[in-house]
Amino acid sequence: MEQPQNTPTTDSLARRQAWKHLQKLAADPSLRQLRDLFAHDPQRTSKYTVRQGAILGDFSKNWVSDAVLSALIELANASGLSEKIHRLHNGEVVNPAENRAAAHVLQRRRHTHKAIEAQRQHFYQVAEDYHNHNCLTAFGEPVEAVVNIGIGGSFLGPQLVIDALTGLQTSGRCPVHFLSSVDDSLLEKVFSQINPRRTLFCVSSKSLGTSETLRNTEAVMQRITTLDGYQPGENRQSFVAATANQDAAARLGIPASHVLPFAHSIGGRFSLWSAIGFPILMSAGAETFSRLLQGAENLDEHYASAPFHRNLPVLMALFSIWYRNFMQLSAYAVLPYDARLKHLPAWLQQLMMESVGKGRDVRGHPVPYSTSPWVFGEHGQLSQHAFFQAFHQGNDVIPVDFIGVRQPATENQRFLLVNMLAQSATLMNGTHDQRTDRHACCPGNRPSSVLLLDDLSPRSLGQLLALYENMVFTQSVIWDVNCFDQPGVELGKRMARQIDHHLQAGTLEALNTDDSTRALLQEILSDHTQEPEKP
């Protein structure tokens, strides 16, 4: 018999019953009346506020009641969440597609497996050698800048952390530039900002098979190795590679001492805690990177031990599932009110949509309910002048995470936080004054959460990033999908390789594709383009 829409495919009777219970609760329109929920429960704010470490989460302005939260926790229990968290934290298999653990949690522990500790000490030592000028570039020059060559999780995480902690860059540390997409204009821009003779190029790729990263590496090597005075050697090396594929790094000509390995069981979008974080070390130093790991470990311990009704990542995952599957809300916005966190939405977009944007469950069966929401965001104050109009008055309701930072307690920082709280309050309360222009009325009752950080230190940043990582893992457990594969991404890459192969071979007529793609390829290859405008 065909599965009804929005019903899980699991055989667990308890899970099916929990899902149906939530469907019944979602039919209650009073849940959408936030002002009434507060009026009927004077303890609502404290009841739905949780603090862990440097993060305070206020979830009181959400379309949830005690009955809804209880039913969501019932669903989590029926999905075996506690056991799955235990398996994740103990290095057991949680990636059934590859029969692997997910070692990013082990990677950030102070006391971890010997192999992970040895890898960590290696990339720490390589960074220290460059900082202390014990290792020079292939031109015999000290390193004064780093270029990270990588895409996806190999640059989004490091870019986010380096920007967030930019104020911690100390004397002797290096600015970091990012070469991600295959784009000649980006390559030219990066080279215009560096002295290539004094630059360390970090090739970041788990597989070292990513076409964009390999193309950019080849382009950079072509430039660097043809400059006068290029002399690679054990202590004169302009390239390092952060990868799980050491053989591929050797084929690129990078000596073993400059290969920074990490485990195959660390997924790319979860990898900033590993050698992929090497640019963070070069930018902010080992102490800063270690404190980042400690913050993440603190949040991991909370995730593994706190009861679900007081567990930050579990609550955030449960509310997102409530909105996606039972309230039928398809989008989710993340709005940091701090320019240092401007790259957080892009990082989270990949983390969530690549991890749980799945149409097949862990057994390969079709998933008949919605999974990942559409994730987007921007610096909060810039968003106010871009898409907040739709938040307040549009017919589509979008749950929002507001993220604020209390320190430094400057006038401008307070202004940011006041704006953040004003937007959260206005989304809830709206305006219904009939004396005003009726076109200006906003309905209110729009849900939002507030995450308030004490400061933006390495430790608090580590907590914030681990919070979202653990939230996404929780979503994957309850949606019954594999958090650690990305077959949709791989499919598009395979098609690109096929097209490129036929282009190189001059056999486009043999390419098995649709007429539209074939016609567009012919247009790209034609010489009918107009002359470019002169600047």
pLDDT by residue for the chain (535 residues), tens only, comes to 233 345 555 457 888 899 999 999 999 999 999 999 999 999 999 999 999 999 999 999 999 999 999 999 999 999 999 999 999 999 999 999 889 999 999 999 999 999 999 999 999 999 999 999 999 999 999 999 999 999 999 999 999 999 999 866 554 579 999 999 999 999 999 999 999 999 999 999 999 988 899 999 999 999 999 999 999 887 789 999 999 999 999 999 999 999 999 999 999 999 999 999 999 999 999 999 999 999 999 999 999 999 999 999 999 999 999 999 999 999 999 999 999 999 999 999 999 999 999 999 999 999 989 999 999 999 988 999 999 999 999 999 999 999 999 999 899 999 999 999 999 999 999 987 656 667 778 889 999 999 999 999 999 999 999 999 999 999 999 999 999 998 887 777 788 878 887 877 778 778 888 889 888 888 888 865 566 566 5
Contact by Cβ (8 Å): 475, 352: yes
State the Cα–Cα distance between residues 247 and 228, nearest whole angstrom.
Answer: 28
Q: Assess if residue 134 is contained within a domain.
A: yes
Q: How many helices (H) and strands (E) does the chain have?
A: 21, 11
**Could you give the CA distance from residue 369 to residue 363 in angstroms, rounded to a whole number?**
15
Q: Pick from 290, 243, 289, 282: which is nearest to 262 by CA?
A: 243
CB 427 within 8 A of CB 446: yes
Q: Do 462 and 366 fall within a single domain?
A: yes
Q: How many CA atoms lie within 13 A of 358 on its CB side?
A: 26
pLDDT of residue 378: 94
Q: Which of 226, 254, 284 is the last residue of a domain?
A: 284
Determine phi and psi for 270, rounding to 5 degrees.
-110, 15
The domain tally of the chain equals 3
Question: What are the backbone angles phi and psi of residue 320, rounded to the nearest 5°?
Answer: -65, -40
pLDDT in tens, 485-524: 988 877 777 888 788 878 777 787 788 888 898 888 888 8
Q: How far is CA 402 from CA 61, 126, 380, 398, 424, in A?
A: 12, 38, 8, 12, 8
Same domain, 201 and 62: no
Residue 171 lies in a domain: yes
Residues 120 and 262 in one domain: yes
In a domain, 449, yes or no: yes
Residue where a domain terminates, one of 284, 306, 337: 284
Separation between Cα atoms, residue 523 and residue 508, nearest integer Å: 13
DSSP state of 403: E
Q: Are residues 243 and 220 part of one domain? A: yes
| Pair 469, 492 in one domain | no
Residue identified by tokens 């072509």 is 222
Q: Are 338 and 381 in contact (CB under 8 A)?
A: no
Both 275 and 380 in one domain: the answer is no
The catalytic residues are 354, 385, 493
**Strand pairing of 55-58 and 49-52?**
antiparallel
**Statement to judge: residues 122 and 241 lie in one domain:** yes
Cα–Cα distance, 286 to 145 (Å, whole number): 17
Would residue 533 count as lying in a domain?
A: no
Tell whether 475 and 519 lie within a shared domain: no
> Is position 191 within any domain?
yes
Is position 531 within any domain? Answer: no
At 533 the pLDDT is 64
Alpha-carbon distance values, 258 to 55, 250, 255 (Å): 37, 10, 6
E strand spans, 18-150? 49-52, 55-58, 145-149
For residues 89 and 131, membership in a common domain is answered with no
Q: Which pLDDT value is given to residue 404?
A: 97
Please tell me whether residue 453 adopts helix, strand or coil conformation: strand
CA 264 → CA 133, 159, 245, 268, 422, distances in Å? 31, 22, 8, 9, 45
CA distance 254 to 248: 9
Evaluate whether residue 128 is within a structural domain.
yes
User: Could you give the CA distance from residue 237 to residue 227 in angstroms, rounded to a whole number?
Assistant: 14
CA dihedral 285, 291, 297, 299 (to 10 degrees): -120
Domain assignment present for 2 = no
What is the DSSP annotation of 37-54? HHHH-TTHHHHTEEEETT
Q: Cα(531)–Cα(375) distance, rounded to whole angstroms?
A: 39
Nearest-10 crossing angle of helices 487-505, 515-525: 50
What is the reported pLDDT for 13? 80
DSSP code at position 337: S
Domain range enclosing 391: 14-99+293-430+441-479
Nearest to 9 by CA among 390, 442, 288, 362: 362
Q: Which residue, 232, 253, 284, sits at the end of a domain?
A: 284
Please say whether the beta carbons of 44 and 444 come within 8 A: no
**Tokens 């989710």 map to which residue?**
332
Are 214 and 311 found together in one domain?
Answer: no
**CATH code for the domain in which residue 137 is found:** 3.40.50.10490
Residues 304 and 420 in one domain: yes
Tell whether 129 and 268 lie within a shared domain: yes
